[in-house]
Amino acid sequence: MNAVPGHEFSGAIAAIGKNVQGCEVGDEVYGMNDWFADGATAEFCITLPPNVARKPASLTHEAAASVPIGALTAWQGLIERAKLETNERVLIHGGAGAVGLYAVQLADARGAHVITTVSTQDFDFVKRLGADEMIDYKASRFEREVRNVDVVFDTVGGATLKRSWSVLKPGGRMITIAAQSEGAGDQRVKDAFFIVEPNEKQLVEIANQLDAGRLRAFVKRVLPLSEASAAYSGAVPHSGRAKIVISVSAGRS
């Protein structure tokens, strides 16, 4: 039996299970299923009330469906785990990526000084998101330019993660979503690593910030469900900044 891919979604509630309260058929919601459930790249998906919230009113379903994993990962990493504070210095690796672009925005909204590693072509993009300093990871080693940061938020892993310990100030916090085998034998990496989880309250707050214009969502391309296989296989060109979204309604007459 083939698995259904995709964990983010946005749409209208078609049916409600027994004893479910707080939502009605027809409500427009967005959210994510955990990694152990069937995915959402289908005409219908089954989810749980704690996994969803009201869709941001300012976004289309396609834009809303691009948000949950990236925004929740950034929220849970920076706000819940690192407890980033105003005026702290944060280094975000991969600030133009699907998670990084939300991390930059959230860190800026918290009043932090935001440093991020990106390619030169993404400098203007992340600056518009709120980055204060940009480092071209292809041209220079970030540890030669950055010292004494309060938080490192790593979305890259590997050598980048290993080199990042040296830029933390005493008592600084490392957060990573890209550790291999949760750091193997390194307890520091195990403690820094986390996997995003669905969270209704955080989805509500993220939707509020999107509707208030404090967060922005980015969609690179919308494809019909009939092209989902090509999108997942890599046959559709894609790089950084924004996501390809599969729309069940796209292409219908």
pLDDT at 248: 84
Least confident of 1-5, 72-76, 147-151, 210-214: 1-5
Hey, which residues does 175 pair with through a beta bridge? 153
If one counts every other C-beta atom within 10 angstroms of the C-beta of residue 38, the result is 15
Over residues 203-220, the pLDDT tens digits come to 999 999 999 999 999 998
Closest CA to 98 of 67, 56, 121: 67
H-run or E-run covering 46 = none
Contact present, 161 and 179 (Cβ < 8 Å): yes
Hey, which residues does 28 pair with through a beta bridge? 12
Instruction: Work out whether strand 89-93 and strand 113-118 pair parallel, antiparallel, or are unpaired.
Output: parallel
Over residues 93-105, the pLDDT tens digits come to 999 999 999 999 9
Tokens of 211: 């509707």
Q: Tell me: pLDDT of 253 over 50.
A: no
Residue 11 DSSP SS3: strand
Q: Taking residues 113-120, report their average pLDDT.
A: 98
Q: In this structure, what DSSP letter does residue 182 have?
A: G
pLDDT at 174: 98
Closest CA to 32 of 216, 211, 202, 227: 202
Residues with Cβ within 8 Å of residue 211, at least 6 apart in sequence? 56, 57, 58
Tokens of 69: 């994993």
Over residues 70-100, the pLDDT tens digits come to 999 999 999 999 999 999 999 999 999 999 9
Confidence of residue 235 (pLDDT cuts 50, 70, 90): low
